[in-house]
Amino acid sequence: MDTLLTFMKIVALASVSALCIYFVTVLKQLVITLSEMGRDLRDITTKAGPVLENLDSITSRVKNIVDNVDGEVDKMRSTVSSIRVLAESMIDFGSRVQTKIEEPVMDAVGFVTGLVKGVTSVLKVFRPRRNGDAGENE
């Protein structure tokens, strides 16, 4: 039984030794992988710096453009409002002119029409009569 126990100890120690050797290789591979990840992160950090600076510059330009567009939109709103007020003033002016001028013009047209009718009537009376018309009125 001592030999069996000794044999089992030897097998157990051999298994532990094999396991330790396996862990050493796994840890070595882990170190290599972590080293590659560190190198990749350094590359990403190095390359990301200029990109982030460009992004900051682009963002600043876009903000300036948007601010300028906002200012122009405000100007356009003000212009449209001014044009609206001007159009309303012109419409109001047209209405006032129409009410002030319409009645006198219509009176003048009526007067001229009456005058033309009167002159036409007078001319009919004093117009020389034709031969066929002379016997009818006498």
Give 35-72 pLDDT, tens digit per residue.
999 999 999 988 888 888 899 899 999 999 999 999 99
Number of structural domains in the chain = 1
Q: Tell whether 46 is covered by a domain.
A: yes
Q: Tell whether 138 is covered by a domain.
A: no
Q: Tell whether 124 is covered by a domain.
A: no
- pTM recorded for the entire structure: 0.43
In angstroms, how far is the first alpha carbon of the chain from the final one? 177
Q: What is the mean pLDDT of residues 106-113?
A: 89
Q: Tell whether 115 is covered by a domain.
A: no
Q: Tell whether 131 is covered by a domain.
A: no
CB-CB contact of 115 with 123 (8 Å): no
Domain around 61? 2-110
